[in-house]
Homo-oligomer: A and B are copies of this chain.
Amino acid sequence: MDNSQQHIQLLIKHINQDVTLDEYATDKLSSIIVFKELGKKEYLIKPGETANTMNFIVQGCMRSYYLDENAQEHTLQLGIEEWWINDLYSYLSRKKSRMYVQALEKTLLIQLPRIELEKLYIGVPEISNFFRLKIQSAYVAVQERVIDSMSDDAYQRYESFRKTYRDIEQRVPQYIIASYLGVTPEFLSYLRKKHS
């Protein structure tokens, strides 16, 4: 079994945690897969582009972020192996993205082009169901963030970040974690010291 077969297996295994793919579904899905490699700091999406694929991380680490009026970075999503990464807004609405989606390490992605994927939805309802679930959990995750940002102070948010992203924390620079939490790097540094 060559490498790309292994990577496809990783995706299939991942999807099978939520729905059950039969052989037909597996084959159909495999047939639309595109691999993509990104070097460290390379961009998958930049503002003005449109997201036309779903992206599954086989190996590596990525984030999505945007710049506010003051050119401050705000990280919206982080992901490592077996996570999905995208600007879901752009993918779903087919409008131009305002986000950067960037590799933080050398990263290998499996991409599923929307056009092919939507054809599959018709004949393979498990795949349609899987992505419906993904979108629902994306909604839940974002709402959770709104709730946390209103209920918790910065240190509580940092602690719950460490729980949710346990395996990610060591792999990304601290200033990116700060930009995810919505605090300055200086303040996160201060908090870490205070509670250590």
Which residues from chain A sit less than 8 Å from chain B, CB to CB?
66, 68-69, 72, 74, 76, 88-89, 92-93, 135-136, 138-140, 142-143, 145-147, 149-151, 182
Q: What's the minimum C-beta distance from A168 to chain B, rounded to whole angstroms?
A: 18
Given known A69-B151, A149-B182, A151-B69, contact A143–B92 (CB-CB < 8 A):
no
A147→B142 CA distance, assembly (Å): 10
Q: What's the minimum C-beta distance from A125 to chain B, rounded to whole angstroms?
A: 11
Q: Which residues of B lie under 8 Å from residue A182 when comparing CB positions? A: 149-150
A60→B136 CA distance, assembly (Å): 28
A69→B151 CA distance, assembly (Å): 8
Whether the Cβ atoms of B93 and A140 lie closer than 8 Å is yes
Q: Name the one of B93, B138, B143 contacting A76, with C-beta atoms under 8 angstroms.
A: B143
A182→B150 CA distance, assembly (Å): 6
Q: Which residues of B lie under 8 Å from residue A140 when comparing CB positions? A: 89, 92-93
Identify the closest chain B residue to A183 (Cβ): B150
Q: Which residues of B lie under 8 Å from residue A138 when comparing CB positions? A: 139
Q: What's the minimum C-beta distance from A183 to chain B, rounded to whole angstroms?
A: 10
Q: Which residues of B lie under 8 Å from residue A72 when comparing CB positions? A: 151
Q: What's the minimum C-beta distance from A161 to chain B, rounded to whole angstroms?
A: 14
